[in-house]
Amino acid sequence: MFRLQDNPTFTHKVPVMVPVDGGHDEQTLTVRYRVMETEAVDRLASLKTDDLTDFLKEAVVEINDVVGCEDQLLPWNHALRDRLFGLYYERMALVNGSTKGRKTSWNCRN
């Protein structure tokens, strides 16, 4: 039996390779994604940078585990979203997480 869900989402642990002196530091985020229509996902390969940000604004429901300089947990809001999406390495990690995460199970969220 197949259960068709309204507003399906899934949560995925996303590795982010943060540039540091001498290389990269692998950090992770817990991201809840909206399951996107096939047409939107198929367009990913041809999207430009600005379009990737628009895709992520539609695909990302929430990001957890983001802390500030003094290790305080930052609340998810539009300002944090825009700041994260403004970082090239973050955008690419989130897009990759969206594609890889589709292979995981999703939950029904209304």
Q: How far apart are CA 86 and CA 48, in angstroms?
A: 14
Q: Is residue 34 within 8 Å of 7, Cβ to Cβ?
A: yes
Q: Is residue 32 helix, strand or coil?
A: strand
User: Per-residue pLDDT for 18 more than 70?
Assistant: yes
User: Per-residue pLDDT for 109 more than 50?
Assistant: no
Give the confidence band of 1 by pLDDT, cuts at 50, 70, 90: confident
Q: How far apart are CA 98 and CA 6, in angstroms?
A: 19
Average pLDDT, the chain: 84
Helix (H) or strand (E) holding 61: strand 60-64
User: Per-residue pLDDT for 21 more than 90?
Assistant: yes
Percent above pLDDT 90 for the chain: 53
Helix (H) or strand (E) holding 50: helix 49-59
User: Per-residue pLDDT for 81 more than 60?
Assistant: yes
Q: How far apart are CA 5 and CA 18, in angstroms?
A: 35
| Per-residue pLDDT tens over the stretch 33-52 | 998 776 666 676 666 766 78
